[in-house]
Structure 1
Amino acid sequence: MRDYDASVAFLGEWGRFQVMVFFMLCSTILPNGSSSFSLVFVTDTPRHHCLVPEVNLSQDWREAVIPMEEVHGELERSQCRRYRLDVVRNLSDMGLVPGRDVNLSSLEQEDCVDGWSYSSERYQSTVVSEFDLVCSASWKQPFTSTVFFLGVLVGSFFSGVLSDRFGRKPVLFATMAVQAVFNLAQIASPSWEVLCVLFFCSGLGSISNYVSCYVLGTEIFTGNTRMVYASMGVCIGFALGYMMLPLVAYFLRSWKDLTVAITVPAVLYIPFWWVLPESPMWLLSQGRVGEAETIVRRAAKMNRVEAPEKIFADYMINASQLYAKSVQRYTFLDLLRRRSIAATTIILCFVWFTLSVCYYGLSLNTSRLHSDPYISCFLSAVVEVPAYSSTYLAVRFLPRRVAVILVFLVVALSLLFIQLVPQSVLEAAVALEMLGKFAATAGTSLLFAFTAELYPTGLRNTASGTCVMVSRTGSCIAPFLLQLNVYFKYLSYVTFGSLAMVSAFVTLFLPESFRRPLPETIQQMHKRPSIMCPCVTRKTSKCVTTLESRL
């Protein structure tokens, strides 16, 4: 039986149909780049200090009521303490001058019992200023982001399972709707607890639609179009959305206005439902050959080419025997049921986890590149464009394992060498860190392509969703790993670099998928060569047979 790519080869690679679907799918990723990193601004902590109510105080005492504290070697106004207001008012009424008549260090201090005063120099409002997530409640600020990523983690898994069960297209639009609806609902949150629930629900659809969109395009396109889409298309769409975020945030300094601005454009994608097709490859895996042929014939008409009388004749003959039955038993457990597939799944989950830790750790750490968060965010986004562009060349010319290993080696060496850079050459340290971010970004695109090419149609979205789900645990703990610098200045870099070095080694044990058709069954997946099973070729499967006998 011919594979899917050979069956639709008559369509060509860059016809009107492919161009239309390519740009429509890429455009649906723009909101993801904006919403995923909007937490940088939405949950940022403005400068603040204890609120001093309108009481009768002299100007000297009004300026001195907030004590000074040493922070990183510099004196700053305390953010969480003030001198007891009743004592200060009495001293002010007595005409005493702070510092001259009264030793301020001898005065008793108190918490911010009247609330806080937040600086409006950078933001009109953030989640932190609205719900007072400071001082004793400061733990709620990073926890808010963690709740969002927990939603991403859960959504990444279930969206994959649902996509393999109900189709790529319905899950793509459903997760887009979930993300938009719960994003808008956040601005009406009456409390921080309700906001966390909405953040979690928003996270359910945030990256889930990215995965569904990625798999949908990978299965529709063939040849060079598939490589461009997998390595550059959706990734650059994400990066462009990321680059637009600081621009929008610069002009909209209220977190509610920013949330609305990055969410409302989602309504523009509603008409896409009637234009974007379902994945013909997925339809074939479900035995729905007629629907798949209808989509391909429509594409042929759009591309102005003549379709053969029977496009999927072999599929029609074997559909009930091969596809319908195999899909019925394809579940998450099939990722672990057989030893060879389980080994592939475990290794992929580990390298995905490592890449997520490095990517989000370096992205969150780029705030030190510039004192202005808008510039820092833009620089962090800009570096992703050349990273994704270079991925296209790697996907086109390099074996998948070689490309992924090179990515991890660059990440590892650049981060491990940072500690060797003298303090007087700060620019070199920043350059090495950005080189690591460049490689980690490129690796994200490579792993999406690699994962999609390793698994059969019935398991492809489940496998991708599972790997992304595991990687999200890395995004959840990355901020905490950055705090390792408290114990040793470069400990977080050493941790990231060590994980990357181990990932480079274990990648050697993954099967190779370079220039091979996408597997459509688990049996075809077994026939992929790897360092553990190098003798598998297109003509022999002795190693697979040996492996099967051990299971």
Structure 2
Amino acid sequence: MGSTERRLSSITISAESDDDSFDELLSSIGFGPWQGISVLVVLIIAALLPVQMVGMTLIAPPVPFRCHGRSFTALENQSALTIDDKLIEISEFDEHNQTDYFDERCLPPSEQDEDYTWLQQPNNSIITGMKSCPSIEYDHSLFSSSIVSDFHLVCEEFHMQAFYQIAYTFGGALGSVIGGSIGDRFGRLRAVQLGAVLYLGGTLAMAFVPLYEVVLLMRVILGFANTSMLVTGWNMALEGSPPTARTLAGMLMGLPISLFMMFLAGVGYFLRTWQNLLLACGSPVLLLIPLSFIADESPRWLLQQNRSKEAYTILQRAVRLNKAKINGDLSTIVEKIALGSKKKCSENSEMSASMYAKCMSGLHEMMEYFRSPGMRAILIVSPIIWFFQSFVYLGLAINANNFSSNDPFLYVAMTGVMDCGSIILSTPATAFLGRRVMIATELFVGGALLLLELVVPNEYSWVKWVLVMVGFLLVAGAFQVNFVYVPELYPTLARARGFAFVNLAGNLGYMCAPLITTNLAKVNSWAPGVVFGCSGIFISLLMPLLPETRKKPLPENLQDVDNRWREGKFKNKSKAAGAENLAYTHDGGRELCSVKNGTVSSSATAE
């Protein structure tokens, strides 16, 4: 996400002259204590994400259980149990045979009865009211409590387990759309403050209200709050950073998500109760709320809203805190930038009115996109890739209890390490290998490693760990590169909408991931590995359908996208035929592209 925001920021800056002036001013102010508060806000927001995004592994893990029906009878002295007409000494239930005791078997219809009465209930058993499991015992040796055990999400209620993660992802999809609009309309800080208050209220309600329906509603609210805070807070920090520090700031703000995945594992190891873990990892919001009232609003946004006086006051504080020296009078510079922003806002308002009047032409525009061979491939392939990469990434992150039921804490910690490593390793490697090759290679090898893990004998558990963790590192690395790659595919006129489109597909992938790690894994333990491995290989095979963008100019319009697509086609043809000269004509015989000695040139202009 950081790479995308940096890329989109550079696109906007290069297109608007008043933004160029503002960046010159920020370069004079420099990067220092003034930006530090905004960056700290984003770091805290990022720290709140892992417990909600991948915390299902430790907050809602499956807990071994045993169901009891009328066939259960306990002797009064509690020295022995009669289970299914078999007399078994209680002393025999040690660590060696607890696995057999907690068989996780729901009662078949013949053993179900409406009258749930026993001579004496087993110790630690709970009346559930479920027909297939009227009385239940849980094995709390690993987790003292879990969403699954507290709300009895087993047997006929088993399908409700996946909704814990799906509800959060649904809220995240709403937050990416509505939260961004709130930030554009009312300000970056207001969106962060609203999200922080919602996060605090949602966390407290989720921890203390004993209804699973309320938990799911709070998960939607938490997904909305987390995503809206992250999107607007990230923009606020990047908008206040000078161009020379923007890349470093973006990288710095992306790492806390990985680091706090490791922190989540460590805290979860000591706090085995899900309420305590949720409250402990959500406690940084108590620092975020007052800090959001201390931080300054984005002066760039204020200038776009014709609030130049407030922007001037904030920029004065920035100069003072950073001990910067400005060439010229600050008020004059701000006024000049404000006039440029006001003029551009007026032009945008007229354009919006014109676009509103032409809203019926939206379908025609979509048809134009699909008639373009280059754009058609992008519109079809890029959302498919984002769906499956999001599906695989989150699926691996929350698959700890299927892969390692005895040590999910180590699994979560290692995924954090791998996620951090993917950012550090993939970012520089992409500059040499190119986006398309990097993504395809990482996804293919990562998927192959996930399939290879399935054939490794259980005796070599360390080999299985290496294969899964390296596979996750590669998938996470491809995801990181894709945040840079996809915005470069779409033309400037459709870049924001295109990126929103693929993110929507990614959210759908997030929603499907828990269905594999819970429902399908219950049917076959090896199924998640097969599905995730094959998905990684499948999307790697789609990458050749998209163009390479490394060291290529960003397309401004649909014609540029087509020219780039034809350039790739011509290069392939010229290499195959060894042609010295090749020309391509289109649209009434006008020459759009020509290839001579392997060099492609374009003579067309956008209509």
With the shorter chain as reference, the TM-score category is 0.7 to 0.9
Residue 479 of structure 1 aligns with which residue? 514
Q: CA distance change for structure 1 residues 488 and 245 in 2, over 3 Å: closer, same or farther?
A: closer
Equivalent-residue separation in structure 2 for 1:364 and 1:192 (angstroms): 20
Instruction: Say if 2:250 is the partner of 1:217.
Output: no
Name the aligned partner's letter for residue 115 of structure 1: S
| Partner residue, 2:43 | 26
Q: Aligned equivalents of 1:363 and 1:501: distance in 2? A: 20
SS in 1 for 2:565: coil
Counterpart of 1:178 (choices 193, 198, 209) is 198
Count of aligned pairs between the two proteins: 508
Change (3 A) 1:528 1:271: farther
Indicate which of 303, 326, 336 corresponds to 1:313.
336
1:492 has 2:492 as partner: no
Counterpart position of 1:44: 61
8 Å CA contact 1:353, 1:471 repeated in 2: yes
Range with bigger deviation, 217-226 or 523-532: 523-532
Aligned to 2:387: 353
Q: After TM superposition, list the pairs within 5 Å mapping 1:375-390 onto structure 2.
A: 375-390=410-425
Tell me by how many angstroms 1:30 deviates: 0.6
Q: Cα gap change, 1:300/1:444 in structure 2, threshold over 3 Å: closer, same or farther?
A: farther
String of CA shifts for 1:283-329, please: whole Å, max 9, x gaps: 45555555555544432333222154325736614334434445677
Whether the 8 Å contact between 2:168 and 2:223 is mirrored in structure 1 is yes
Shift of 1:43: 1.3
Q: Is 1:501 paired with 2:535?
A: no
State whether residues 280 and 292 of structure 1, in contact with CA within 8 Å, keep that contact through their aligned partners in structure 2: yes
Corresponding residue SS for 2:141:
coil
Summarize the Cα distance change of 1:389–1:240 in structure 2 as closer, same or farther, 3 Å threshold. Answer: same
Contact 1:387–1:441 (CA under 8 A) maintained in structure 2: yes
Could you tell me whether the CA contact under 8 Å between 1:415 and 1:432 is conserved in 2? Answer: no
Q: In structure 2, give the amino acid aligned to 1:355.
A: Q
Q: 1:255 aligns with which of 245, 262, 274?
A: 274
Q: Which amino acid aligns with 2:564?
A: I
Deviation at 1:389, TM superposition (A): 2.1
Query: What SS class does the counterpart of residue 284 from structure 2 fall into?
Result: helix
Question: 1:167-219, CA deviations, whole angstroms, 9 ceiling, x for partnerless residues?
Answer: 33322332232222112111233422232222222222233322222333333
Alpha carbons of 1:267 and 1:66: their partners in 2 closer, same or farther (altered >3 Å)? Answer: farther
Percent identity, please. 19
Q: Distance in 1 between matches of 2:156 and 2:421?
A: 42
Residue aligning to 2:24: 9
Partners of 2:64 and 2:169 lie apart in 1 by 26
Rounded Cα–Cα distance in structure 2 between residues aligned with 1:458 and 1:302: 38
| Aligned equivalent of 1:240, options 259, 284, 289 | 259
| Corresponding residue of 2:7 | none
Aligned to 1:146: 166
For 2:174, what is the secondary structure of its paired residue? helix
- Is contact 2:435-2:550 (8 Å) kept? no
* 1:17–1:57 distance in 2 versus 1, CA, 3 Å: same
Partner of 1:81: 107
Contact 1:216 1:279 in 2 (8 A): yes
Amino acid at match of 2:394: Y
**Residue identity opposite 1:170 in structure 2:** R
Q: Which residue of 1 aligns with 2:347?
A: 322
1:462/1:8 Cα in 2 relative to 1: closer, same or farther (>3 Å)? same
Give TM-score scaled by structure 1 length.
0.76
How far the C-alpha of 1:474 sits from its partner, in A, is: 0.5
**2:165 is the alignment partner of 1:156:** no
How far apart are residue 268 of structure 1 and its match? Answer: 0.8
The answer to whether the aligner puts 1:532 opposite 2:557 as a matched pair is no
Cα displacement (A) at 1:382: 1.7
Decide whether aligned partners of structure 1 residues 244 and 23 sit closer, same or farther in structure 2, where only a CA change above 3 A counts.
same
1:319-468 maps to which residues of 2 (within 5 A)? Answer: 319-326=344-351, 339=369, 348-367=382-401, 368-369=403-404, 371-394=406-429, 397=431, 402-403=434-435, 405-419=437-451, 423-424=456-457, 427-449=462-484, 466-468=501-503
Go from structure 1 to structure 2 and tell me whether the alpha carbon gap of 1:388 and 1:417 turns closer, same or farther (over 3 Å shift).
closer
Distance 1:525 1:439, change over 3 A: farther
Is 1:469 the counterpart of 2:504? The answer is: yes
CA distance in 2, matches of 1:320, 1:6: 16
In the alignment, the residues of structure 2 paired with residue 497 and residue 88 of structure 1 have an alpha-carbon distance, to the nearest angstrom, of 51
Unaligned runs of 5+ in 2: 1-15, 89-98, 120-129, 568-591, 594-600
Q: Provide the alpha-carbon RMSD of the alignment.
A: 4.4
Structure 1: distance between partners of 2:314 and 2:183: 19
Q: Secondary structure at the match of 1:278?
A: coil
Deviation by residue 1:35-72 (Cα, 9 ceiling, x = unmatched): 2222222211222112567664874444666899xxxx
Q: 1:372-404, CA deviations, whole angstroms, 9 ceiling, x for partnerless residues?
A: 111221111121122222344357x459xx236
1:206 aligns with 2:226: yes
Q: Return the alpha-carbon distance in structure 2 between the equivalents of residues 420 and 504 of structure 1.
A: 22
Unaligned residue ranges in structure 1 (runs of 5+)? 69-73, 91-109
Letter of the 2:258 counterpart: A
**2: distance between equivalents of 1:405 and 1:53?**
64
Per the alignment, do residues 209 and 462 of structure 1 end up closer, same or farther by CA in structure 2, a change over 3 Å counting?
farther
SS in 2 for 1:8: helix
Letter in 1 for 2:107: R
- Counterpart amino acid of 1:360? L
| Matching residue of 1:107 | none
**Cα deviation, residue 14, structure 1:** 3.1
Q: CA deviation at 1:412?
A: 1.6
The answer (yes or no) to whether the contact 1:50–1:66 under 8 Å persists in 2 is: no
User: Is the alpha carbon distance of 1:406 and 1:28 closer, same or farther for their aligned partners in structure 2, counting shifts above 3 Å?
Assistant: same
Residue 513 of structure 1: CA displacement? 8.5
Residues 226 and 202 of structure 1: is their aligned pair in 2 closer, same or farther, counting only changes over 3 Å?
same
Relative distance call for 1:208 and 1:84 in structure 2 (3 A) is: closer
Which residue of the partner structure matches residue 97 of structure 1? none
Find the residue that maps to 2:164 and give its secondary structure: helix
Instruction: Give the conservation status (yes or no) of the 8 Å contact 1:46–1:129.
Output: yes
- Residue 410 of structure 1, CA deviation: 0.9
Deviation at 1:514, TM superposition (A): 7.8
* Greater mean deviation of Cα atoms: 423-432 or 450-459: 450-459
CA 1:461–1:87 in structure 2 vs 1: closer, same or farther (change >3 Å)? closer
Q: CA deviation at 1:413?
A: 2.1
CA distance in 1, matches of 2:382, 2:462: 34
Distance (whole Å) between structure 1 residues aligned to residue 267 and residue 236 of structure 2: 30
Whole-Å Cα distance in 1 between the matches of residues 333 and 176 of structure 2?
37
Question: Aligned letter for 2:217?
Answer: V
**Are the equivalent residues in 2 in contact too, given 1:212–1:461 (CA < 8 A)?**
no
